[in-house]
Structure 1
Amino acid sequence: MAASELIQGDDDDNRPHLEVATVSPPTPPRPPRLSNGNPPRHASLPPPPTETHEGKKEECSKLSGLFQQNQLIHSLSRGLRKHCDYTKISVPEERADRLPSEWWKTGVAFLYALFNLVFTTVIITVVHERVPDKSVSPPLPDKFFDYVDRVPWAFTVTEVNGLILSGLWLVQWLFLKHKSIILRRCFFLIGTLYMYRCVTMYITTLPVPGKHMVCAPKLYNDSTGKIWRILQLISGGGLSLTGSHLMCGDFLYSGHTVMCTLSYLFIKEYSPRWMWWYHWLCWLLSASGVLCILIGHEHYSIDVLIGYFATTRTFWWYHTMANTHALRQASNNYLSQTWWNPIFNFLERNVQTPVPIVFSWPVNLPSSCRQRYKIVEGGRDE
């Protein structure tokens, strides 16, 4: 009886507790703030103090992550800003400085060519006094003359072709963009080739190549007469067409060969490759002009041959060194052993790249014309 009463007493004590738990539920807690928007489940609700502490931790971790991302973005933007400054400012300035005009160097090259051309006329006048008479020293045997008879008008064709080639080259040069660099190269090669010609004419004086040639009388010690002959030769450009070239002795090597060959080489070098028809036309003018020198019996075959080799080799050597910048500092570059290498370094020191073939108008348009052109182009774009 006592035990049953105790059990019953316990049951009586527990019943009110169970009724309180089912009848009067506790006050529902404040719903937590969730990032995904899903409603919370009552069975897995954490107690309010623990939920607040973890929310603070989560917010702190998010703030630290955002701070690190901002630092990374700032560092990347600074790097990109530096890179953009390099590509926008440094590279165009470097390219602009690789082909400077330097017209004053072109003026120096012009004086160099002018001096050698005038000096050539002086040497011709001196050599003319040493040419042996045709009756004493007949023309030397020449294999080309043995097979081809003389044509009187052939030498006129040579000079006409040379003038045409020179005119074409002058017009082409006027439309080139990098005029100064190309012109100083032309002046240097002309001066150097005519200086070589002065040396060969002076050290070896050949007799006239044909008895048809008429030479002016010798002046011997008449200095005034020699000066007048020099001025006459300069004024007529040394051409037989102008009647200014009546002296003999300037045979080794041929100046007309230099004029025809050098004009063609510059025309071909500084014109686009697609203008092949233009190259062939100039080559025909040059080759026929050189051939007519021999047909007219105005020079020995050795004069023309040496003139061709001297012109082409000097042109190719110079442009090989000018277009290949690595050769200038190479220790095994034997082209730098030439005597004119210091002059080359002076003229080409600041030219750091091959000269591109770019054409432009020789004369700048007036500002009013440029303004109208911009207005027309703007209207087309709209």
Structure 2
Amino acid sequence: MAASELIHDSDDVRLQVEASVTTPTAPLHPPRVANGDLRSTVTGSVDGKQERGRLGSLLQQNQLIHSLSSGLRRHCHYVKIPVQEEHAVQLPTEWWKTGVAFLYAAFNLVFTTVVITIVHERVPDKSVSPPLPDKFFDYVDRVPWAFTVTESNGLILVGLWLLQWICLKHRSIIGRRCFFLIGTLYMYRCVTMYITTLPVPGKHMVCAPKLYNDSTGKIWRILRLISGGGLSLTGSHLMCGDFLYSGHTVMLTLSYLFIKEYSPPWMWWYRWFCWALSASGVVCILFAHEHYSIDVVVGYVVTTRTFWWYHTMANTHALRQAPNNFLSRTWWNPIFNFLERNVRTTVPVAFTWPVALPSACRQRYRIVEGGRDE
């Protein structure tokens, strides 16, 4: 349609130009001949006609170019591609799914405190069952302040990840991934703690007295453990038996994995800082003799493998329907399909303001972002 209009415009221009350069009609009286030489008069008239013809052709070309350029400007909107709308369809927010994942994580965290309370009643006395042999403990003496470093590093990492998550553009999708992994890892921990109860790893550990059939006292212990976040810094963790595997290792490792996965490569200094916090926190668990080495190793392996399996399936869309995908045989594959069904592309690392800005600030932000894109 645009090409036909342009051709029509060019034909109109040609007709106008031809009409404007048409030679006038012959005069009624023949021109006078100077000195009887008719050849010079005819030659001059022919040269004038050729000059007018060249000027007319140049004018016609200029008019044609102008008409083509104006036609292109009028029809340039035909090449616009609605990328933003398509991108939004591939990454829907679906906050209600994030809420379901949050409830799943909260339930398993509360259930963990219940299992810790149950297991605490089964921990053998230190005088009857001494700590198990551990190679790391044989070579490294206990450092009393090391566990404080572990919990401080964990609080810093969790705070950094929470701040980073709030500033992410696709926080709903990333949030439900984080909540699902936290809930699943702590559910695994409930199973391993309950089926195998290890003796305390050190004589220095002070365990709260056993309550046996005092159900009310156990409920108060559960509430105290929940309110204090299960940390020694808050004085809420006085029970023993939650050794296999280490919950502190889970939070230190998982926080770093999410920080690294959803931060841009140019923030390498931020990634290295968080890695140092995570690694030093895990090592300080062993320095403090608060967990056996096997607790830390199992916690690291389970956390990293579950994180990598989930994100492999989330980022490789061909695996979801592949018949030979062994990752789809995991028990949590139906939950994965529920959470990730409408996520049809890899989630990009993009940041945005967590709250709505005034219109003037938004305009300045668009100008800055546009300048960076160019």
TM-score, normalised relative to structure 1? 0.74
Q: How does 1:366-377 map to 2 (within 5 A)?
A: 366-367=358-359, 369-370=361-362
Query: 1:261 is matched with which residue: 253, 257, 266?
Result: 253
1:123 aligned to which of 115, 121, 126: 115
Q: May I ask how many residue pairs the two structures share in their alignment? A: 297
Q: Please provide the CA RMSD for this pair.
A: 2.3
Structure 1 residue aligned with 2:133: 141
100, 113, 129: which is aligned to 1:108? 100
Q: Distance in 1 between matches of 2:182 and 2:300?
A: 13
| Gapped regions of structure 1 (runs ≥ 5) | 1-36, 38-80, 378-382
Q: 1:276: which partner in 2?
A: 268
Q: 1:221 aligns with which of 195, 213, 217?
A: 213
Residue in structure 1 matched with residue 234 of structure 2 by the alignment: 242
Aligned-partner Cα distance in 1 for 2:366–2:286: 56
Question: How far does residue 372 in structure 1 lie from its aligned partner after superposition?
Answer: 8.2
Query: Structure 1 residues 370, 271: CA separation in 2 closer, same or farther (over 3 Å shift)?
Result: closer
Matched residues in 2 for 1:243 and 1:288: separation?
22
Give the distance between the partners of 2:169 and 2:97, measured in 1 at CA: 17
SS in structure 2 of the partner of residue 97 of structure 1: helix
Task: State the Cα distance separating 1:286 from its structure 2 match.
Answer: 0.3
- Percent identity at matched positions? 84
Give 1:94 deviation, angstroms: 2.8
Q: Tell me how far apart the structure 2 counterparts of residues 297 and 182 of structure 1 sit (CA, whole Å).
A: 34
Q: Residue 314 of structure 1 corresponds to which residue in structure 2?
A: 306
| Structure having the higher Rg | 1
CA distance in 2, matches of 1:206, 1:92: 55
How many Å separate the matches in 2 of 1:163 and 1:372?
A: 35
Q: In the alignment, what sits opposite 1:305?
A: 297
Deviation at 1:367, TM superposition (A): 4.0
Following superposition, the deviation at residue 277 of structure 1 comes to 1.2
What does residue range 70-85 of structure 1 map to in structure 2 within 5 Å? 84=78
Deviations 1:156-198 (A, max 9, x none): 0000000000111111111110010001000000000000000
CA separation in 1, counterparts of 2:196 and 2:366? 63
* TM superposition shift of 1:366: 2.9
Render the CA deviation track for 1:109-160: whole Å, top value 9, x for unaligned: 0000000000000000000000000000000000000000000000000000
Structure 2 counterparts to residues 1-382 of structure 1, below 5 A: 84=78, 88=81, 92-367=84-359, 369-370=361-362
For residue 17 of structure 2, what is the aligned residue in structure 1?
none
How far has the Cα of 1:93 moved from its partner? 3.3
Q: Distance in 1 between matches of 2:297 and 2:220?
A: 32
- Give the distance between the partners of 1:174 and 1:233, measured in 2 at CA: 27
1:276-318 residue CA offsets vs partner (Å, 9 max, x unmatched): 1111111110000000000000000000000000000000000
* Letter matched to residue 281 of structure 2: G
TM-score w.r.t. structure 2 length?
A: 0.76
2 CA distance for matches of 1:276 and 1:214?
Answer: 41
Q: Amino acid of the residue matched to residue 245 of structure 1?
A: H
Change in 2 beyond 3 A, CA 1:373/1:151: closer
